[in-house]
């Protein structure tokens, strides 16, 4: 969320985040392949697991860097204001963490309820989607981590400018070199192959360094250290060259999850993932002027406002919509499973599945948003750093457990940690009466 008032709010970053959210939701639905046996869903496949060339599509749909980039850009001014006012930055992070706990508690509570019901039923559908229902929580873990370091990123920009960006690139490159351990020029040319075939080990340092890069770029963009369509075109070209060079060296083509052979640019992140970041940042600059013309129209601005309000609920709940979509598809005998890419009508099945998921998520959104609006607004704690740190660790633990173990039993256990975080991060003092 931007920290500026609504009257002078820049809608372009909001539109970019709405676009990123839409792409993520649609991408997740398209990538989930229901597998049917005699009209009953028995399991799900992932598109990347059966179609290696789908990795090229991830160059377009891996838009998490764009979200981090924009979030940093709109938060930079607030960080600097708190510096001038000599306010404690970690209270701001506590507020961000608290804002994520309430909708996450609701989501994990719903998964827990589904899990308990499954104990008294066959639980067939929940079992098929079990890990899929929590896999997207990794984004919250990553976002909270890099936002905790946002003041340091702003300080690095103030001191080093774009040098902070180059520093992150250099450190990430060193990590991949240490992971791949090339011993010759030939090994260096095949660095991607050596990196992805080796254990994660030291490579997990890039789970921080690589995701800090779009944050650092977002700050630099907000400070106008790079602007303009020509610059954008140059960065797009850099991204295309970067992706070609890294994938030619053996890095996987796919930029989400694992590819057909079990290799990954995400687990842990690699240098190849930066190519997607360059493409997205370049397009932000290249398309800024025409996008602002479009956003000056009332209808476009209204759509962006609605998507901004639905942002976190839609991200959290869109995976759950796959459960009722599968159930309805079974009952109506719809063509959810039409083989693999290259077979007749495969993409027809994708369209049917996409339509069902969209149809099922609509009432979920109405119910969730209505419920959240009836809840009392939570005020972030103004207590000690220890309480905020404890709440943050509890939140992270709950998210990690949910991510690792799926809806059952992950969500059940994770709910305890996230609910405890909500209690620790909340200001329990009575609010002062309104004047």
Query: pLDDT tens across 90-102, in order?
Result: 677 888 888 889 8
Average pLDDT over residues 105-115: 90
Pair 386, 117: CB distance under 8 Å: no
435 within some domain: no
Q: Domain of 407?
A: 6-425
| Res 357: pLDDT | 94
411 with 115: CB under 8 angstroms? yes
217 phi and psi angles, rounded to 5 deg: -65, -40
433 domain-assigned: no
The mean per-residue pLDDT over the stretch 228-241 comes to: 96
Give percent helix, percent strand, percent coil of the chain, each to the nearest 5. 75, 5, 25
Give the DSSP letter of residue 253: S
Both tokens of 427, joined, read 């200001």
Burial (0-12, 13-18, 19+ Cβ within 10 Å), 369: middle
> Among 84-93, 140-149, 259-268, which range has the highest average pLDDT?
140-149
Q: How many CB atoms lie within 10 A of CB 241?
A: 12
Other beta carbons within 10 angstroms of residue 209's beta carbon come to 20
Record the tokens describing residue 392, joined without a space: 């943050």
Count of structural domains, the chain: 1
Mean pLDDT of 290-294: 93
How sure is the predictor about 226, in pLDDT bands with cuts at 50, 70 and 90?
A: very high
Average pLDDT of every residue of the chain: 87
Which has the higher per-residue pLDDT, 57 or 275?
A: 275
- pLDDT bin (cut points 50, 70, 90) of residue 306 is confident
Residue 37 forms part of a structural domain? yes
Residue with tokens 């620790």: 424
* Sign of the alpha-carbon torsion through 291, 294, 297, 300: negative
pLDDT at residue number 91: 75
Overall average pLDDT of the 10-19 stretch: 91
Token pair belonging to 21:
């959210």
Residue 378: the pLDDT is 64
Task: Let me know if residue 430 belongs to a domain.
Answer: no
Contact (CB, 8 A) for 280 and 63: yes
**Does a structural domain hold residue 363?**
yes
Dihedral-angle region of residue 39 (phi above 0 means left; psi in -120 to 50 means alpha; beta otherwise): left
Indicate if the pLDDT at residue 403 is higher than 90.
yes
Q: What is the Cα 112 distance to its own chain's centre? A: 23
Residue 89 has pLDDT above 80, yes or no: no
Dihedral sign of CA atoms 113, 118, 121, 125 in order: positive
């Amino acid at each position: 969320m931007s920290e500026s008032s609504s009257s002078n709010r820049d809608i372009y970053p909001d539109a970019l985040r709405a676009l990123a959210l839409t792409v993520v939701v649609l991408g997740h639905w398209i990538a989930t392949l229901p597998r049917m046996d005699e009209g009953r869903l028995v399991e799900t496949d992932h598109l990347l697991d059966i179609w290696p060339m789908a990795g090229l599509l991830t160059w377009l749909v891996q838009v998490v860097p764009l979200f981090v980039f924009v979030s940093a850009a709109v938060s930079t001014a607030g960080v600097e204001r708190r510096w001038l006012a000599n306010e404690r930055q970690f209270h701001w992070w506590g507020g961000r963490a608290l804002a994520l706990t309430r909708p996450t508690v609701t989501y994990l509570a719903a998964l827990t309820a589904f899990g308990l019901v499954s104990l008294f039923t066959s639980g067939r559908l929940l079992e098929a989607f079990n890990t899929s229902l929590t896999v997207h929580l990794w984004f919250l873990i990553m976002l909270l981590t890099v936002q905790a370091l946002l003041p340091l990123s702003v300080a690095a920009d103030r001191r080093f400018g774009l040098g902070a960006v180059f520093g992150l690139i250099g450190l990430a490159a060193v990590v991949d070199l240490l992971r791949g351990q090339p011993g010759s020029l030939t090994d260096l040319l095949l660095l991607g192959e050596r990196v992805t075939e080796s254990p994660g080990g030291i490579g997990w340092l890039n789970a921080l360094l690589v995701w800090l890069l779009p944050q650092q770029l977002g700050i630099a963009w907000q400070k106008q250290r790079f602007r303009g369509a020509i610059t954008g075109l140059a960065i797009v070209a850099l991204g295309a060259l970067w992706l070609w060079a890294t994938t030619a060296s053996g890095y996987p083509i796919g930029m989400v999850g694992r590819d057909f052979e079990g290799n990954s640019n995400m687990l842990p992140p690699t240098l190849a993932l930066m190519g997607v970041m360059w493409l997205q940042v370049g397009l932000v600059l290249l398309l800024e002027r025409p996008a602002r013309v479009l956003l000056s129209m009332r209808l476009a601005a209204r759509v962006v406002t609605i998507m901004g309000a639905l942002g976190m609920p839609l991200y959290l709940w869109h995976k759950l919509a796959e459960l009722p979509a599968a159930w309805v598809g079974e009952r109506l005998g719809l063509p959810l499973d039409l083989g693999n890419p290259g077979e007749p009508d495969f993409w027809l099945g994708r369209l049917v599945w996409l339509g069902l998921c969209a149809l099922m998520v609509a009432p979920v959104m109405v119910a969730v948003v209505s419920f959240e609006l009836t809840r009392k607004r939570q005020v972030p704690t103004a207590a000690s750093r220890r309480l905020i740190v404890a709440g943050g660790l509890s939140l992270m633990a709950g998210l990690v457990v949910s991510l690792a173990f799926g809806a059952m039993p992950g969500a059940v256990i994770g709910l305890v940690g996230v609910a405890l975080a909500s209690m620790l991060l909340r200001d329990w003092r009575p609010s002062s009466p309104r004047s």
